[in-house]
Amino acid sequence: MKTISLLGATGSIGTQTLDIIREHPSEFTLAAISVGKNIDLARKMIIEFQPELVSVQDYHDCNTLKAEFPTIKFTFGQEGLIETAVYDKADILVNAVLGSVGLHPTLQAIECGKVIAIANKETLVTAGHLVIEAAQKNNVPLLPVDSEHSAIFQALQGEKEKNIERLILTASGGSFRDFTRQELKNVTVEQALNHPNWSMGAKITIDSASMMNKGLEVIEAHWLFNLPYEKIDVLLHKESIIHSMVEFHDSSIIAQLGTPDMRVPIQYALTYPDRLPLRSSKRLDLASIGKLHFEEMDMARFRCLGFAYEAGKKGGSMPTVLNAANEVAVAAFLEGKIRFLQIEDLIEKALTAHQITTHPSLTAIQEIDKETREYVHSLL
Ligand SMILES: NC(=O)C1=CN([C@@H]2O[C@H](COP(=O)(O)OP(=O)(O)OC[C@H]3O[C@@H](n4cnc5c(N)ncnc54)[C@H](OP(=O)(O)O)[C@@H]3O)[C@@H](O)[C@H]2O)C=CC1
Ligand SMILES: CC(=O)[C@@H](O)[C@H](O)COP(=O)(O)O
Ligand SMILES: [Mn+2]
């Protein structure tokens, strides 16, 4: 029996993690959860899973739930996320919270020796060097949940890092794959949220449409698999059936395939190095699919991908700026304050204005994250 603490329980990855726990009650138990502002869903989860600890984003919501569930321990805010991440009865932390708010809790959980199943890619983008250093120092496994990284992780089982020629991350192209830049000028939030293959949270769906999701994933892959950016490529694959691939020096390519269902990589991270059946997941029927398509990535069309490669290669605090600017810009787009193409303009301005700090500490990362958010807000 593995005991889980789950950050971001009310989100897309969070609720799918609960599906896995529900499907395998003799394998997993849930000790602690964090939620944001979706208190109605939090109530239902508390009744069904009876976690011992619940962290809530806001103080007021925390007090409301406390009055309703007097036997459960409640906490709130950033400290609450940390308490949940390090909850002593949990063996494994599933980090499915959104954004760089997940960084500090992840570092603390690593210090406490928790196995980390990481969906929260912003944490690895904003401070991958700190997360990897801490994981190595504390001998803590960092298990990828993101579908592309899970695919690569699965393809690498039994393989040696020295034999890797390159990673090939697949990209669906998102909601606007076939739009020209001219057509992108007036797209709506509703159109952007209509991902062709995956049902995901709002922020990552916009990131998919701008191709920033793939940019964040390139940086995430750099840290998780210890490879230079020159060995990480992106290939447009509109069906999202091949979740990613590894090419080896002998020219062999190993790919992982499946229907687009995040429960598969979530469960693999929870059962690794074992596997369990997943009856609720649809089997891949390649004969009925017939054809798979691949195209080279157009870097002029998808500018955010170029920004991410550039920020990743420059290193230091640049990825922190990339991530923070993107978080603010996407939130502004979702709130209807800016147009879609202004997301990339704001990110470009933030990157251009930034004076790089090399090997930033946690305090420096937090400070640069805050400053970048303020700077981008000042441009809105
Ligand atoms: N969805 C997917 O298929 C995939 C997601 N990922 C990554 O996983 C992470 C989560 O994505 P996803 O599940 O789509 O996101 P969602 O927006 O669906 O969920 C985010 C979760 O985080 C909580 N949350 C948001 N902000 C805060 C905050 N400031 N403090 C505390 N809790 C907060 C939300 O709470 P509430 O809703 O209660 O407000 C919710 O539980 C992201 O990093 C994403 O890039 C990676 C691969 C695939
Ligand atoms: C499910 C998942 O891992 C997402 O990150 C997904 O990859 C988004 O797809 P695209 O970014 O390729 O559109
Ligand atoms: Mn992904």
- Nearest-CA residue for atom 1 of ligand 1: 200
pLDDT in tens, 288-297: 999 999 999 9
In short, whether 208's Cβ falls inside 6 Å of ligand 2 is yes
Domains belonging to the chain, first-starting first, are 2-140 (3.40.50.720)
Cα dihedral angle (285, 179, 146, 5), rounded to 10 degrees?
A: -110
Q: How far from chain centre, in Å, is Cα 259?
A: 19
Q: What gap in Å lies between CA 161 and CA 166, rounded to an integer?
A: 10
Ligand nearest to the CA of 176: 2
Give the pLDDT score at 160.
97
Cβ atoms 276, 269 nearer than 8 A? no
In short, whether 122's Cβ falls inside 6 Å of ligand 1 is yes
Q: What gap in Å lies between CA 3 and CA 16, rounded to an integer?
A: 16
pTM of the model: 0.98
* Beta strands at 253-257 and 242-248: parallel, antiparallel or unpaired: antiparallel
Q: Is 336 left (phi over 0), alpha (psi -120 to 50) or beta?
A: left
Give the pLDDT score at 45.
98
Q: What gap in Å lies between CA 266 and CA 150, rounded to an integer?
A: 9
The SS3 assignment for 5 reads: strand
Give the pLDDT score at 27.
98
Could you tell me the two tokens for 241?
A: 């059936």
In short, whether 57's Cβ falls inside 6 Å of ligand 2 is no
Please choose from 6, 13, 370 the residue to mutate so as to test ligand 1's pocket, defined by most ligand atoms within 8 A of CB. 13
Cβ atoms 237, 148 nearer than 8 A? no
Ranges of the chain whose pLDDT falls below 50: none
Q: What gap in Å lies between CA 9 and CA 105, rounded to an integer?
A: 15
